[in-house]
Structure 1
C-alpha cells in the first residue's frame, strides 16, 4: 500500500515499526529463527537512505544501544552492528553517532568480544565512520581520532591481527588500517598512531595466517588476497615516512624482509602498487636486511621497466594501464643507490657477478647518475 511505503521504496513503515518494537522487547522475547530472519531483512533494507532516515526518526541508535548492552546473543549483536554500519553510509547518521557517547562506548566495548562475526561488522562500521576523516578533513574533532590518541583502538587491532584465524576479519582490519594510516590532516600523520611493535608483530602474524599456502609459482589465490596484500604493504609503507616507523620496521627487519622477498619474486608481469610499496619497504630496512636473490630480481624488474619505456616510445602497447612504471622505477633506483652506499662491497660485487651483464651495466648507470645528481646538488648549495 503506497501510503504505508517508506519514502520512494516499497518497504512498509508498519513492518519496520513492528520489527523495532520487537527489538525493544527483546529481553522478554525468546529469539527464534523467524525473528532472526526479520532482522536480516531489516539489515538488507538499510542500504536504502529513505529507510535509514525513517529508522533514525524512530531513534534506532538508542534502541540498538540498549539491545547490545542487554543481549547475550552474538548473532543478534552482529546484525545490529551490521545495521548501524549500513546506516553510517549516510552522513547525517555519522554525525548523530558522533554525538552519542554511550552508543560509541557500547560499540567500542565490543572490540573485546571473541566473536569474529561481530568484529567483522564492527570493523566495517569503524571504516564507514572514518569516511569523514578521509574526505572532510575540516570536519572538526572526530571521536575516532580520540580513540587513536588513547591507543585503545590500536591495542585491540594489534590483538586481532596477532590472534585471529578469520580471513574476512583480517581483510577488514587491513583495509581499515590502510585507510587510517594514509591520513595526514593538519600536519598530523595518522600512521604514527599505529607504528608500534605490537602492530608490526600483528601484521607479520596476519600475513602468515592469510598466505601460509601461497607459492611463488602463482600469484595470490584470490582478488581478496591480492587486495589484502596491497593493504598490508601500504600500512607498513606509511611507517617509512617518520623515524619511529622506520625504527620499528628495522626492529622486525629479518621477518619482514623474508616476506618482502617473497612478494618481489612473484611472476614477472606483476607490476602493481604492491610491488611499488614492497621496493620502498626493502629500501627502508636495507641496513638490517639484504637478500641477494631479491636484489637480482629487482634488477631484472628494472631492466623490464626500461624495455617497457622503449616500447611505449615506439608506439607499442603495454599491459600496465595504471602507468605505475615511473613510480616503480624511481623506487627501484632509490633502492639501488642505497644498496651501493650501505651494503658491504664484497657482498655486493659477489652478487653482481651472478647477474646478467645488462642488468649490471644498468645498475652502475643508476648509481653513477644518482651520484652526479648529489654532487651537482652539493655544488649548488
Structure 2
C-alpha cells in the first residue's frame, strides 16, 4: 500500500515558470551571462577575487617554500580554465584586464598549481588574435613568460611552451617573441635542460613544437643553436618519447632536418651519427612494418627522416658504412616507400597535363621529373609546376585541388629526397670505387664494365677538388700540374710518384677490382625476393637521370656477372619498355612464387 506522503506529493508535468520580472524583462537574464553563453559573470568575478585573496595570504607568510591552495578553489580555477576556451569568455576576461590580473598572480604566487592554471588561461586567451596582439605589445608580459622557462615544475612548463607556441603561430604577433628569445642568453640552456631531463612526454612534445616553429621562423637559430650539447639533449628526449609516440617523434625529425640545412648543424648531427642513425632506421622500420606502406600524413615526416639519414650517410667514410650494406633492410625500406609514391606522382602528373590541356607523352609519363637537373632547371620546373597546380585548383578537374595540391607538393619533395638517397646508396652498392660519384664519370664510359672507373678531375666540382689528394693516392690517375709539383718538396713528390707507379702496376696486373662493399645480399634480395613491381619503380627512378642510368647499367652488369637471371630479365624488360602493372606483377615467366 502506498504511503500517505507519497500520495500527497504534487505532480508536475513541466518546469516552473521564471519569475515575473524576468519574463517581462528578459534582458535582465542576459545581463548576468557572458556573451551568448550560460556562464555567469558574477561567478567569474567571485572566482578571480578568491584567487587574488589567496595569493595575498600567501605573501603574508615569510616562507619561500611552495604552497598549495584549497582544493575547492583549485576546482573552481580549473572550471575557469575550461571556460576560457570559449571565445566570448576570453574576450570578457580581456575586457576586465584579466591579463594584468593573471600576470600579477604569476609574479606573486608561490603555488605551482595556481601558476600553471593562470598560464593555461592566458594560453587559451592567446588563441584570440586581438588578445594575442595586445600580449605581444606588452614587453613586460613577454619577458615574464620567457622567464617561466627556468621553472622546474613540469605542468607549468607545458602551459608556458603552449602559450609561446600559440603566440608564434600568429603571423601578426610573432616578431616581439622571436626578438625576446634571441636576446635571452638563458633560453637555450633551459631548453637543453628540459630535453635532457624531463620524463613528461607532453612537455617534451610541446617544447619540441616550440623549437620546431622557432627554427622555421628564424633560420639564424639553426646556426646559433646548432651545438653538440643541444643535439645531444634532443636525442635524449627522443629516447624518452620512444618510437611508439610517432607524432611527437616526427616533430624531432623535422628539427633535425632544419639543423641539417646549415654547416654547423650538419657537424653537430654527424657528431651523433650512431644514435641518430639507429633512431631514424627504427622509425622507418615502424612506418614500413606492413607490406603496403601508407603515405597518408607521412610525407613530411618521411622526408625529414630520409633527408637526415642521407646527410649522415654521405658524411661518413665508405669503410664505416658496411653495416648499412650487410643485408637488404635499407634497400627494402627505400623500395617499399617508393612503391606507393611513384604511381601516386604519375597520377598527379597526368592530372596536371590534362588540366593544362597539354598532350600526354606516354614515354615521359612513365617517369617522374629528374632529380639531378641543374639549379636553373629546377627553378623553372618549380615555377611551371606551381602554375600547373594553380590551374588545377581553379579548374577542379580530376579531383586535384585544395588539400590534394598540397599533398602533391609534399609527395614531390619526398620523391626528390628519396631518389637522391637511392642514388647515393646505390652509388656505393653498385660501384667498384664508391668514393667516386656517378656524375664524376666520363660520359662515354661504360659503368657496366669490370674495369675500375677512372677519376676525372673537375675544376668546377668543389667536392672532387676537396678529395683530389685522396683520389690520386687511390686511383693513381689524377693529373698533378707542374705548378703544384714545384710547390711540393722533393721528398713528397718522389713519394707520390712511387705511390702512383705502384698503383698503376697493381691495376695493370689485376684483372678485376673487388667492390669495397659486399653487394651480394642486395642483389640476392632484388633477384629472389623483391617483387617485379618494386623493381619496375626502382628501375624507372634510376633511369630519370644520367647518373641513375649509369648505375642502372652497372646494376645490370653485376646481376649478369652474379647470374641473377630474374633480375636481368626484369631490367631488360624495363629498358625495352615492357613495364607491367601491379595486377600483373606476379604473372611473369618464373615469378609466380615471388612476392
Q: Note if 1:300 corresponds to 2:338.
A: no
SS at match of 2:199: coil
Inter-CA distance 270–153: structure 2 relative to 1 (3 Å threshold): farther
Give the match for residue 142 of structure 1: 176
Q: Note if 1:5 corresponds to 2:91.
A: no
Give the match for residue 281 of structure 2: 261
TM-score by length of 1: 0.81
Q: Is this contact kept in 1: 2:257–2:307, CA < 8 A?
A: yes
Inter-CA distance 44–206: structure 2 relative to 1 (3 Å threshold): same
Give the match for residue 338 of structure 1: 424
Aligned-pair CA distance for 1:123: 0.7
Alignment of 1:67-86 (within 5 A): 67-86=105-124
TM-score by length of 2: 0.53
* Structure 2: runs of 5 or more not aligned: 1-28, 59-68, 349-403, 436-514, 551-595
SS at match of 1:55: helix
Give the match for residue 276 of structure 1: 303
Q: 2: CA distance between counterparts of 1:29 and 1:326?
A: 61
Q: Is this contact kept in 1: 2:222–2:262, CA < 8 A?
A: no
- State which of 330, 347, 352 in structure 1 corresponds to 2:517: 347
Q: Note if 1:241 corresponds to 2:261.
A: yes
Q: Is this contact kept in 2: 1:264–1:294, CA < 8 A?
A: no
Aligned-residue Cα RMSD (Å) equals 3.2
Q: 2: CA distance between counterparts of 1:49 and 1:301?
A: 47
Inter-CA distance 149–372: structure 2 relative to 1 (3 Å threshold): farther
Q: 2: CA distance between counterparts of 1:76 and 1:140?
A: 27
Aligned-pair CA distance for 1:193: 4.8
Q: 2: CA distance between counterparts of 1:204 and 1:275?
A: 18
Inter-CA distance 199–295: structure 2 relative to 1 (3 Å threshold): farther
Give the match for residue 231 of structure 2: 200
Q: Is this contact kept in 2: 1:123–1:176, CA < 8 A?
A: yes
Aligned-pair CA distance for 1:82: 0.4
Give the match for residue 357 of structure 2: none
Q: 2: CA distance between counterparts of 1:104 and 1:310?
A: 47
Q: 1: CA distance between counterparts of 2:97 and 2:326?
A: 57
Q: 2: CA distance between counterparts of 1:282 and 1:204?
A: 14
Q: 1: CA distance between counterparts of 2:326 and 2:255?
A: 21
Q: Deviations over 1:208-254 (max 9, x none)?
A: 1111xx5xxxxx3xxxx121111111111112222222121112112
Aligned residues: 351
- State which of 107, 128, 139 in structure 1 corresponds to 2:145: 107
Give the match for residue 356 of structure 1: 526
Give the match for residue 210 of structure 1: 241
Aligned-pair CA distance for 1:176: 1.8
Give the match for residue 318 of structure 1: none
Aligned-pair CA distance for 1:351: 5.5
Q: 2: CA distance between counterparts of 1:56 and 1:35?
A: 21
SS at match of 2:238: helix
Give the match for residue 183 of structure 1: 217
Larger Rg: 2
Q: Is this contact kept in 1: 2:146–2:181, CA < 8 A?
A: no
SS at match of 2:255: helix
Q: 1: CA distance between counterparts of 2:84 and 2:326?
A: 48
